[in-house]
Amino acid sequence: MEQTIVSVGKYKFQITDNILLLREQIYSRNFKIGGAYTECFNVSITYNDNEPISAYIPYIVYDPDCSIDIPLDRGQGSIIMIKTLLRHIHKKLPTLTEVKFEDKSNIECATDYEIQTKSSRNKKKGTHVYPIPLYYFSIAFNGETWYEKHLNAKQKNVNKHSKYREKIKYLLYSEEVKTKTSFLQFLEISQPPLSIVDELENYYKKSSTFSEFFQSMPKKDRCRLVRDWISIFMSYHLNDVFENSDWIIDLPITLHGGNKKTRKYYCPKGFNTYNKSYRDFGIDITNM
């Protein structure tokens, strides 16, 4: 096992390289990065005849102690940590050209509530939490997933990914598809709760594209307005061109920058995203 300390900007990370030998040959290899909390981001390497043949991300975990000395923030700090390990791996194993992963990121849309209890005049306060796929939410409001934006990720199937990007362009930005879809048809497809139908209709009738429809929703209301139906809507339109189980990140990767977009990436303030492959991770990407 080899340990390396790497400094990137204000952050300092510890990278652990653990090699498993079987009959004097490398059977597998595992890289992980962290700080006081050492297992924040993990990449497993598969070998054949002592040669690396594939790399896979089993989990990502967020914790302020993922960085040494200075606490890791949930925004750019987490992205820097991920990219730092991927760059380190490519330096060690330059023949690897991609890392596979499964996008299981979710976003927690929370709503506060008050109820009158029978035994007291006071109202009981609480919060309902609605986890929804971040990739669908992000596609709706940003035109791409979180991993596409920050890590230039893509589906392994090149042809499928190309069709997916074309479908997104048509679905979100074409007036034709919006015009062809009456509000009644939208309701039949999406099946939103009756309690928000009037609100949705107001935004729907004022927009000429689905992108305008999503963008017209006030940011403070977006989670509440889409959480119950965004997965149904996106799955209906993208089921033949999109899946979350077969994605890759190309190596080498640059430390700074992702896809170049003029519109600011949006995610609701105060909500966490997490990937539940084997462990949870949270990244607050509010202002990114």
DSSP codes of every residue in 236-259: HHHTTT--SSSEEEESS--SS--S
pLDDT of residue 178: 97
Identify whether 217 is part of a domain: yes
> Token pair of 245, please?
């189980």
Indicate the pLDDT class of residue 264, thresholds 50, 70 and 90.
confident
CB-based contacts of 265, cutoff 8 Å, min separation 6: 142, 149, 285, 288
Question: Under a CB-based contact definition with an 8 Å cutoff, are residues 209 and 173 in contact?
Answer: yes
| 201 domain-assigned | yes
Length of the chain: 288
Q: Do both 174 and 207 map to the same domain?
A: yes
Which two structure tokens, joined as six digits, stand for 182? 């009456």
Residue 148 pLDDT exceeds 70: yes
State the chain's maximal CA–CA distance in angstroms.
73
Query: Could you give the CA distance from residue 11 to residue 28 in angstroms, rounded to a whole number?
Result: 29
Q: Is residue 263 part of a domain?
A: no
Same domain for 82 and 111? Answer: no
Whether residue 112 sits in one domain with residue 223:
yes
Cα-Cα-Cα-Cα dihedral of 52, 62, 272, 154, to 10°?
A: -10
Residue 55 is assigned to a structural domain of this protein: yes
Contact 39, 93 (CB under 8 A): no
Whether 270 maps to a domain, the answer reads no
Residues 47 and 172 in one domain: no
| Residue 66 placed within a domain | yes
**Residue 210 falls in which region: left (phi positive, over 0), alpha (psi -120 to 50) or beta:** alpha
Residue numbers of the domain that contains 230 = 106-149+156-245
Whole-number pLDDT of residue 278 = 35
Angstrom distance (rounded) from CA 127 to CA 112: 4
Backbone angles phi, psi at 265, to 5 degrees: -70, 135
Split at pLDDT 50, 70, 90, the class of 110 is low
* Residue 115 and residue 228 share a domain: yes
Q: Is the pLDDT of residue 286 over 90?
A: no
Average pLDDT, the chain: 87
Q: Are residues 82 and 115 in the same domain?
A: no
Mean local confidence (pLDDT), 99-119: 71
The 10s digit of each residue's pLDDT in 152-209 is 999 999 999 999 999 999 999 999 999 999 999 999 999 999 999 999 999 999 999 9
Global confidence as pTM: 0.84
Q: Residues 24, 139: one domain?
A: no
CA distances from 23 to 2, 20, 53 (A): 20, 10, 19
Q: Tell me if 29 sits within 8 A of 245, measured CB to CB.
A: no
What is the amino acid identity at position 157?
A: N
For residue 148, give both structure tokens: 């596409």
Residues 137 and 173 in one domain: yes
266 in a structural domain: no
* Whole-number pLDDT of residue 237: 97
DSSP state of 64: G
Same domain, 240 and 138: yes
Q: Note the pLDDT of residue 283.
A: 38
Are residues 110 and 90 part of one domain?
Answer: no
pLDDT of residue 95: 96
Tokens linked to 163? 């069709």
User: What total number of domains does the chain contain?
Assistant: 2
pLDDT of residue 270: 60
87 shares its domain with 182 = no
Examine the domain organization and report whether 90 and 136 are in the same domain. no
Residue 261 lies in a domain: no
